[in-house]
Structure 1
């Protein structure tokens, strides 16, 4: 994989965009990099995220990929948590949503307070990936799988959220944008 681009000095985050990394890349770029050698939280956060990922994967049966954002994907030496969005394949998502116990498990895994009480500093969201695979036909009436328009809307909302900075804090200009990481599985 291509390494994560240098952080923008104004935001201390990657430049706007989504950057694909493997788990090993995440470890080397956001935990073991020389810039983070003195971090007291990054190693533990990655371990907690991997454990959280295993729980989500067990509950759903599959995770297609995940997005990492927030202070973990920034120059902050000691982030307090990891912001993650899990993207679940549509068939696995449908199976999971058909089981009340799994819905409850995913609700817990997506509740930051629950995660913290269980030793995971993770702020998680679970989204379904679209069923529509042939994107050439998206503009054709009836070509998109039922309910996929809502799926695309949710994905777009989280893409927009993860690329926004909290402008006006710590000298970050208002309207500043940032990048985030897509972990490829």
Structure 2
């Protein structure tokens, strides 16, 4: 893994792409870095993310395979208002969340207003990874696991959303991927 590339001057965001990092590298780059030493919120946001992540992973029964972090938290903004996060769960773990209480709890963790009311400034999404493991089979009719076409579309949608930049005249931005 490598540290987050420098923020682009005109957008305040990382260069376009998905940047692989460890949790320790994310904390070092986006919370503990000297440039954020005077932030009034980054440390608290980090703690809120860790609590939120623990709850999602408890409901899933295992760690998220990958986590995408984006938005103003993954920018040069000194005091971001929240953290945008997408949890990517193995298809088996995602499909195993079936108890009504667990589904309701997961829905709450994906509800921005619920999170804010519960002192977590988190804008979260939980997605399944494809069940298809052998990617040589993707082009073969009927070889893809049932439902994977929709899974790939949702993953592509969020990948596109996280790379959109609010500033910079149509510029794209990067975001972070943390793998377990």
Instruction: Please tell me the TM-score bracket, short chain as reference.
Output: over 0.9
How far the C-alpha of 1:44 sits from its partner, in A, is 0.5
In the aligned structure 2, how far is the partner of 1:124 from the partner of 1:5?
Answer: 24
Tell me what 2:152 maps to: 152
In the aligned structure 2, how far is the partner of 1:175 from the partner of 1:139?
Answer: 33
TM-score scaled by structure 1? 0.95
How is 1:143-182 mapped onto 2 (pairs within 5 angstroms)?
A: 143-166=143-166, 172-182=167-177
Paired residues, number: 179
How far the C-alpha of 1:104 sits from its partner, in A, is 0.4
Post-superposition CA distance 1:104-124 (Å, at most 9, x none): 001000001111111111010
In the aligned structure 2, how far is the partner of 1:61 from the partner of 1:11?
Answer: 38
How far the C-alpha of 1:173 sits from its partner, in A, is 2.4
Unaligned runs of 5+ in 2: none
In the aligned structure 2, how far is the partner of 1:91 from the partner of 1:146?
Answer: 13
Tell me what 2:57 maps to: 57
Report the 3-state secondary structure (helix = DSSP H, G, I; strand = E; otherwise coil) of the residue aligned with 2:171. coil
TM-score scaled by structure 2? 0.97
In the aligned structure 2, how far is the partner of 1:29 from the partner of 1:40?
Answer: 16
In the aligned structure 2, how far is the partner of 1:165 from the partner of 1:8?
Answer: 12
Q: Which runs of 4+ in 1 moved over 6 A?
A: none
In the aligned structure 2, how far is the partner of 1:3 from the partner of 1:13?
Answer: 14
Tell me what 2:72 maps to: 71
Tell me what 1:184 maps to: 179
Report the 3-state secondary structure (helix = DSSP H, G, I; strand = E; otherwise coil) of the residue aligned with 1:5. coil
